[in-house]
Structure 1
Amino acid sequence: MAESTTADLDVNRSDRRLGRAVTRVHQASRTIDPALRPRLESLLHAGEAMDFVARIHGFSDPLSASALESFAVQAGIGRQSLHSTVLPALKAANVADFALDTQGVVIEVQEFLGVTGNLIEQSYRVLQQLNPTIDEIVTLHSIEVASFAPLTTTQHLDQLHRRGFNDQVSETGLNLALATGLTKRVNSVDLAEDVIYSPYVWESGQIEIASFLRGLPPGERDALLGICEQAAQHPGLALPLLAQPTPGVFGAAQKVGLVQAATVKSTGGSGAQTYVFSPTLESEDDRLTTTEALNQRKLFVAHMLFGHERAERSGGRIHDPVVLVRALLNRGSVGPASNISTDYHLLEAHGIVRVRETDHGRAYLELVKEEIVEGGLAWLQNSSTSAGTTDPTVNLLRAPGEFTNPEQTRAGAGDLGAADEIARSAILELRKELQRATRQDRPANPR
């Protein structure tokens, strides 16, 4: 076998970074302005295609044609688009193969998720098969540059120039990246210029959250440090349990990416719970087949905690999520309970579990994606159950019907008022910290 060259490794790293940017665009797609969507069409199609593959991944039995089309709909793909665009691109990228009946209906899809690369690597290969425009490619690069370090606008554009894009294309890419909400800017009075940044900068490995926070002014440091420590120690901590020493500080931490939040809402809109996660959890998942790029583990953990805190007692409320998930992994199914037949539609839609109904409205929960559930168990063992729970007397009046991922939650935060000042200060300090590290004044990631 031929040895990998340094150039090959650099290309692979670049593909992974750009593939992660593809999944970012997909996760933010619900908040992207409709007028912008046609300009990012290939990026959106690539994200939808990989979302579809991730949903059908793990099923041991062949899925029916109707089930395949239902999973496609859940990923935002219509029947015509599935046949004419998505499946051909997946096949050309060696991510999936498919078979049609005599009427041209999909009767089988064989997916290769994780076989020829993990999800983020395969995402970029699928995008390449969709013939993206130069504007779409430079937008991905702009998102990726911002996630590596906060830079002034001039420095950010210079990085795009170094990657072979001319002035006009670079400016277009930056503007499109800003329009998606995945790249943001704050004004620096000292620099007399905007600083471009991404809330995903903490995943680059350039700097540790703890070492960065030590350099902040005492008031900001203490406020943000408490939030970050709680999110890291208790993945899935319910927001009402999060100690916030300063009003609005959680919004600041969320805006600059120091924490992530995901929300589960009931079908009737009468109940909702927000759970908090550390961004470092996501970067640690790169070794997995599906990674946490599609937030499936957050979805699973949030549902288990929601079922523990807010499900109907009479229908089989989860007494201990850790015990239940262990049983699910060991036995392959748990139940029966009536809550199972009503509360896990979103997990079914992502192909994480399967619900098998029995008589009298009860059902069993069956394991499909062992990787996601096994990883979720590790988070649950350090989750909000070890730090207490929310009010146990509050019942969920309707089953969970909506999951708002971290990208959507951050986009909906709106004007944070005083918390914006903390966020602005943190980003500008981060830029200085990374520049000091580059000049070797002191290491940004001390060991």
Structure 2
Amino acid sequence: MDKKTQGAWLLHHGRKLQATTNQDFDAIAFAGKSGTLLSAISAERQGVVTQPRLEALARANHISPRTEMPAIITELARQRLVMPGNGGVEVLGLTGHSVLEHTARIFDESEHEAHEDAVIVVSEIASENPTTDRAVTELVSDQLKLSSKQMGDTLELATKIGFFDSEPISAQERLLFNGNLFRRDEARKVNAILSSLKPGEASQLREVNQKLQETGCLPLDAVTRILGQELFSRLHSIGLFDVSVVGNDQGKNHFVTRPAAFSKFSNSIADDAFDLAKALVASLTYGMTVSSYYRGRIQMVSALMNKLINGHSVGPATAIGSDYQALELKGVVAVSPADGGMFTMKLLKPEVGRLALAVIEDGDITAESVSHIPGARITEYVVPESNREVQRKNATEAVKINARNLLQEIRTGGLKR
């Protein structure tokens, strides 16, 4: 496993741990939070982050400025990535991939236990193909010098926390997988699923996939009208679809994309570790199709994005001050006041902009894609993994049994046994 991929899993697992009180994966939690804060405060070019902005970004990413941030800044300074000074910190110019590599280094240099390495290794294995707890125990226990009981306890705790998912396939064995399943080798896995569906269901899935290939994203209700709620729940729960949420003061709106829409341009979890490109696509789509002309509606997205990617500011426009707040909190853009109540915006992470633009230009994202977003500012973006967790938690027993069957088909390549 390369360091970018390891860093991505540390961030993924770190986010899961933030929702628990568990202390068994302390090194993962610290490395994950360190990487999250480093991503939020860094840009492609070296710069200074003031203390108020530093604390605001920490809070926005669920890091306590008082109890957690000082230790993280100390570690980042030890790694020579930041230089604390009067009134803030100076931060090296970093890309998203380099942030992941530094996250992995922080973990590697920490005092951590073998079971923490184990959950990272198993996560990568389970993202390639569904596997079993018995198979990974045989593979990983010798490698990391863990007993079968230690591995069993680790896997049980890891599934409860949500590092990866599991479905029972017998009284003694569980199937392990995770939501990154369709980022790699998608065609083979989808074909395996198609072979296990009823003819009508397979036809519906083909129709949805074709529409998503054409448009890039669709409202959730447009997808469920075609598939039906039960079939969609099965497919979503195993990771075939991503559901993102764009929120504002008039409510939350759900969108469906395929993991492959992004993996077409970037083929690893490392490129999707922060879900920043998906957040940028959602915000730009809103600006193209919903925001009014008088607020600063986006009319030439390619020209605008290329200007941002090349390091220039855009604006002034009234809409900039409100439509990109979710991206500000992740350190993707910097927004500055201008005259007359208007604002300008600068892109801090050009590699995120390049990926977002590629997805937008490849799929014809039109007004149909976001027709249900009310004309109000975007203040919240909920990542697909969080929505899939809710889906799996609320799934009925019938849906879980069918999801298990789909996973078995993926695991065997659709071969009839």
Instruction: Give TM-score scaled by structure 2 length.
Output: 0.85
Q: How does 1:173-322 map to 2 (within 5 A)?
A: 173-188=154-169, 193-205=173-185, 208-219=188-199, 220-242=201-223, 244-248=225-229, 249-266=231-248, 268=249, 270-283=250-263, 291-311=271-291, 314-319=294-299, 321-322=301-302
In structure 1, what residue type is equivalent to 2:256?
V
Instruction: Give TM-score scaled by structure 1 length.
Output: 0.80
**Farther-moved stretch of structure 1 (325-334 vs 134-143):** 325-334
- Aligned to 1:43, the other structure's residue is in SS state helix
Q: Deviations over 1:167-195 (max 9, x none)?
A: 22211220122012231222336x87332
Deviation at 1:120?
3.4
Q: Given the alignment of the two structures, is residue 167 of structure 1 paired with residue 148 of structure 2, yes or no?
A: yes
Structure-2 change in CA distance of 1:21 and 1:226 (3 Å): farther
Confirm or deny: 8 A CA contact 1:118 1:290 kept in the other structure: no
In structure 1, what residue type is equivalent to 2:49?
L
Structure-2 change in CA distance of 1:41 and 1:365 (3 Å): same
For residues 154 and 207 of structure 2, the distance between their equivalents in structure 1, rounded to whole angstroms, comes to: 36
For residues 421 and 287 of structure 1, the distance between their equivalents in structure 2, rounded to whole angstroms, comes to: 30
Greater helix proportion: 2
- Aligned to 2:124, the other structure's residue is in SS state helix
- Aligned to 1:142, the other structure's residue is in SS state helix
Tell me which residue corresponds to 1:361.
341
Confirm or deny: 8 A CA contact 1:340 1:364 kept in the other structure: yes
In structure 1, what residue type is equivalent to 2:16?
A
For residues 275 and 383 of structure 1, the distance between their equivalents in structure 2, rounded to whole angstroms, comes to: 15
What's the RMSD between the two structures over aligned residues?
Answer: 3.3
Deviation at 1:320?
5.4
Tell me which residue corresponds to 1:8.
none
**Farther-moved stretch of structure 1 (143-152 vs 372-381):** 143-152
Q: Given the alignment of the two structures, is residue 405 of structure 1 paired with residue 383 of structure 2, yes or no?
A: yes
Confirm or deny: 8 A CA contact 1:22 1:140 kept in the other structure: yes
Structure-2 change in CA distance of 1:110 and 1:262 (3 Å): same
Structure-2 change in CA distance of 1:335 and 1:278 (3 Å): same
Q: Given the alignment of the two structures, is residue 24 of structure 1 paired with residue 12 of structure 2, yes or no?
A: yes
Tell me which residue corresponds to 2:122.
142
For residues 159 and 296 of structure 1, the distance between their equivalents in structure 2, rounded to whole angstroms, comes to: 34
Deviation at 1:112?
4.5
Unaligned runs of 5+ in 1: 1-12, 442-447
In structure 1, what residue type is equivalent to 2:8?
R
For residues 92 and 173 of structure 1, the distance between their equivalents in structure 2, rounded to whole angstroms, comes to: 31
Confirm or deny: 8 A CA contact 1:89 1:130 kept in the other structure: no
Confirm or deny: 8 A CA contact 1:27 1:294 kept in the other structure: no
Unaligned runs of 5+ in 2: none
Identity level (%) = 19
Q: Deviations over 1:396-426 (max 9, x none)?
A: 3x42221110111111224234544442221
Confirm or deny: 8 A CA contact 1:49 1:90 kept in the other structure: yes
Structure-2 change in CA distance of 1:244 and 1:308 (3 Å): same
Structure-2 change in CA distance of 1:208 and 1:118 (3 Å): farther
Confirm or deny: 8 A CA contact 2:48 2:89 kept in the other structure: no
For residues 76 and 40 of structure 1, the distance between their equivalents in structure 2, rounded to whole angstroms, comes to: 18
> Which residue of the other structure, out of 415, 418, 435, is the alignment partner of 2:394?
415
Deviation at 1:326?
4.0
- Aligned to 1:196, the other structure's residue is in SS state strand
Q: Given the alignment of the two structures, is residue 98 of structure 1 paired with residue 86 of structure 2, yes or no?
A: no
> Which residue of the other structure, out of 59, 68, 71, is the alignment partner of 1:85?
71
Confirm or deny: 8 A CA contact 2:46 2:91 kept in the other structure: no
Deviation at 1:205?
4.2
Q: Deviations over 1:311-332 (max 9, x none)?
A: 3554233345445434544682
> Which residue of the other structure, out of 8, 25, 43, is the alignment partner of 1:40?
25
Deviation at 1:90?
3.0
Q: Deviations over 1:279-336 (max 9, x none)?
A: 2345456589972210010010111112334435542333454454345446823222
For residues 92 and 306 of structure 2, the distance between their equivalents in structure 1, rounded to whole angstroms, comes to: 29
For residues 281 and 126 of structure 1, the distance between their equivalents in structure 2, rounded to whole angstroms, comes to: 31
Confirm or deny: 8 A CA contact 2:44 2:93 kept in the other structure: no
Tell me which residue corresponds to 1:10.
none
Where does structure 1 differ by over 6 angstroms across 4 or more consecutive aligned residues? 287-290
Deviation at 1:277?
2.5
Confirm or deny: 8 A CA contact 1:300 1:373 kept in the other structure: yes
For residues 268 and 300 of structure 2, the distance between their equivalents in structure 1, rounded to whole angstroms, comes to: 26
Deviation at 1:431?
1.8
For residues 285 and 5 of structure 2, the distance between their equivalents in structure 1, rounded to whole angstroms, comes to: 32
> Which residue of the other structure, out of 129, 136, 139, is the alignment partner of 1:156?
136
Confirm or deny: 8 A CA contact 1:265 1:403 kept in the other structure: yes
Structure-2 change in CA distance of 1:199 and 1:82 (3 Å): closer
